[in-house]
Amino acid sequence: MVSSILDKKRVIILLSDGIHNSGLVSPEQATQYAILNNVQVHTIGIGSNEPVYLRDDIYGDPQYAELDEQTLQDIASSTGGNYFKSLDEQGLNEILLELNTNLEYETELSTIRDWFIGSAIIILLIDIYIIYGKFRIAA
């Protein structure tokens, strides 16, 4: 999917706690893929400075969510991105506004208006020919 974007700057904004607890691709493998495909990854660490209780697992042991800042910093620095830390919703909004102002956007406009008008004129001419033309059907 990344390779379908030709000659464009590729950027990913990753919101994560940095803990690899699901999926088949490790953070290191994903980072290497991003480096090979020239994808800049900006990481936003979401979480608390202290472990936060989530739930008990199937064995009754407590599970905690932790913020692994080092992994997120490594991903960002390896791919030429920046690391941000958000502890609350307001902080996340500020980070997203900063990213929005710092990232370069390229807008590509494509219009179908000309094709639509041309098609409408052709259909109108065909309709006029059917009604008033040489081979009209008399009712």
| Spans of all domains in the chain | 2-102
Write down the pLDDT at residue 2: 53
Q: Are 117 and 76 in contact (CB under 8 A)?
A: no
pLDDT by 10s per residue, the chain, length 139: 555 555 677 899 999 988 887 889 999 999 999 999 999 999 999 988 888 888 998 999 998 888 889 999 999 999 999 999 998 889 999 999 999 888 877 777 777 788 888 899 999 999 888 888 777 666 5
Q: What is the DSSP letter of 118?
A: H
Helix pair 27-36, 69-79: axis angle to 10 deg = 10
Write down the pLDDT at residue 137: 65
In CATH, what number does 2-102 get? 3.40.50.410
Q: Are 84 and 69 in contact (CB under 8 A)?
A: no
Q: Are 76 and 43 in contact (CB under 8 A)?
A: yes
